Amino acid sequence: MSYRENPRPGGRSARVQVAVHQSVRDMLATMDRADITIPLIAQRANVTPSTIYRRWGGLQELLADVAASRLQPEGEPARIGSAREDLEAWVEQYADEMASGVGRQLLRDVLSVADGANAEKCCTYTRSQLAILIARAEKRGEPFPVEEELMDHVISPIIYRILFDRAPGPDHVRNLIAKVMPESVART
Residues that bind DNA (CB under 7 A): 1-3, 5, 7-13, 15-17, 37-40, 46-51, 53-55, 57-59
Q: Can you tell me the distance from the alpha carbon of 163 to that of 140, in angstroms, rounded to the nearest whole number? A: 35
- Amino acid (one-letter) located at 88: E
**Of its own copies, DNA, none, which one sits near residue 7, judging by CB under 5 to 8 A according to partner kind?**
DNA
Q: What mask, x for binding its own copies by CB under 8 A, covers residues 132 to 171?
A: -------------------xxx-xxx-xxx-xxx------
- Neighbouring CB atoms inside 10 A of 33's CB total 10
End-to-end CA distance of the chain: 61
Contact call for residue 31 and its own copies (CB under 8 A): no
Rounded to the nearest whole angstrom, what is the least distance from the CB of residue 185 to its own copies in the complex? 7
Q: Can you tell me the distance from the alpha carbon of 30 to that of 180, in angstroms, rounded to the nearest whole number? A: 40
> With b meaning 16 or more CB within 10 Å and e meaning fewer, what string describes 162-176?
beeeebbeeeebeeb
Rounded to the nearest whole angstrom, what is the least distance from the CB of residue 12 to its own copies in the complex? 29
- Neighbouring CB atoms inside 10 A of 69's CB total 16
Query: Applying CB under 8 A, which residues contact its own copies?
Result: 33-34, 60, 105, 107-108, 111-114, 116, 119-120, 122-123, 151-153, 155-157, 159-161, 163-165, 176, 182, 185-188
